Structure 1
């Protein structure tokens, strides 16, 4: 179609609005053309899901295992280079937790320390995190099996495992730990280390904005700072701009 032609009879903001719609439609068409050209490769990497993962009665654990296969198919086929996978947040109801498979567990209650079916909250959280690690292990193992360049796909991969909250259940965000796993070609100096940066307001304190700035700088975007500055840090005289030097290669 010629959606853009409709805009020619219009003026001002209406013309710009219709042209934006037309550009969006064309962008979708271009995306679909590119996907059609990748059909053979996509077909080779269609995720293989079992009946449990496809069932309407699948547990949270089973669905997440299926989601991992879908994201792996998307990455390996080249449909995307970035995947965001929310495995947990305080509003989730979890089913299929090891040892309490028949229970529907509200993670907000767990955050408040509630014992469910005789299992303490910390133990429930531990079982969920162990499950999350099995998902990550599946991702890493599969990517390590896929050749890419002179190595494997995982060599060119960075995985960030975020916490379910900050320093407490209802946090202020003064702490926000990550587990970061990177392949051999990472441009960050991570090196199998536990790194704890100075606390909020202390000399050398860095923010999440600095972390994302570090990632962007390492991979070709020399941005000075990602996101908004924390005005609460001004009274401490902390320079919030720039990357985290400890992570620079």
Structure 2
């Protein structure tokens, strides 16, 4: 966990870069990825009768995403990208955001787009935050897990699934009572581990010292993050969510899903981070939504057709309500001449294309927001299946100010899986 946190923090831990704020080059920008497992069937998001690109103004959104109807002018539905080269099957795992071959238990072969964007955007105290939602048993048994995000080859970034642990990390220094006591106890342990780890590493063979040093640095970064959060304690007081029984006595896993989302939103609105990755199902083939009245869970959900399925309608509607919560909160916070939402884009898709057992031939995506006018919105775009998800990620990097023509795709790979070079002209303004 410490190693993963260190990879996410990188070299951005500078006192003058604590919080996201406008810069000389323009307003602060932020990107949010929402990855739902088990696939994203295009029929659950494309309005009936729409087969070609066009405006959404007179269209009615399908029932699964009906909560987004008031936000149609900020919505861009994209159909026809592919991820054939990721071999997704049950999940592409790191390949979903990396645009490369991924598989269960296989380490990342390169960094993922969310991490690269966290470097491209103005640096913050915690550039990249990942949260993962699953069954309550899985979240308790594995409070951190790495399946979707990476800072480089063989360098996974862990997502947080226990909201009590994440709250302590972000807001333990401004809390009182039991939370403060737990925070201080955990801090003391982490400091001691850092000292012991540094001392013990000196006796390792030279060939192992560098790799071991990454773990030691991870503990240093975790401890440094805590110290820097303490320096902005007065500011954080305004944004820390209220702790209630959903944290300590969740009735259903959706209680933890909801408070994890609250923590993610608070990290954005407080300026702690500008890049948030949400893994609903945590990039794997599991997941549960008993709080929605759904008894089925895990792998079996992926064997159900999604269109017109009452179970998947409930799950997708729940996702849509989460997206609305993010947008409404960011819309309520003034920023520059507008609001935080004006400078944000949310990327909603799945970590395994259109369905659980897929070849990745079609990878539907929804964009919400335009990142300060960088993306077209209020429309549907139908592509021909000849451009990969990497092209969309290239577009995001362009919008973040990076002059790149490809993302994680060399010439040999591009000749086989991409018919063009550069970003998607269909999505950029």
CA displacement, residues 83-116 of structure 1 (integer Å, 9 cap, x when unaligned) = 111124531132112xxx3x532242122128xx
Unaligned runs of 5+ in 2: 1-194
Q: 1:16–1:155: structure 2 CA closer, same or farther, 3 Å change rule? A: same
Partner of 1:202: none
2:264 is matched with which residue: 66, 71, 75?
71
1:61–1:131 Cα contact (<8 Å) kept = no
Aligned residue number for residue 381 of structure 2: 195
Q: Is contact 1:229–1:240 with CA below 8 Å preserved after alignment?
A: no
What's 2:336 paired with?
Answer: 149
Higher strand share: 2
- 3-state SS of paired residue (2:261): helix
TM-score of the superposition, structure 1-length normalised?
0.77
SS at match of 2:279: coil
Q: In the alignment, what sits opposite 2:395?
A: 214
Match of 2:236 in 1: 42
Gaps of 5+ in 1: 115-119, 200-204
Displacement, 1:225?
1.2
Q: Deviations over 1:48-83 (max 9, x none)?
A: 2442x2244432332222111111111111211111
SS state at 1:141 partner: helix
CA gap 1:244/1:9 in 2 versus in 1, 3 angstroms: same
- After TM superposition, give the deviation of residue 11 of structure 1 in Å: 9.7
The answer on 1:174 being equivalent to 2:361 is yes
Superposition pairs for residues 1-249 of structure 1, below 5 Å? 13=207, 16=210, 23-24=217-218, 26-51=220-245, 53-88=246-281, 90-97=285-292, 101=293, 103-113=294-304, 122-163=309-350, 165-183=352-370, 185-188=372-375, 190-199=376-385, 205-228=386-409, 234=415, 238-249=418-429
Normalization by structure 2: what TM-score? 0.47
Higher relative contact order (CA 8 A, sep 6+): 2
Alpha-carbon distance between aligned partners in 1 of 2:304 and 2:209, rounded to the nearest angstrom: 56
- Distance in 1, Cα, partners of 2:203 & 2:303: 60
Provide the aligned length of Structure 1 versus Structure 2.
233
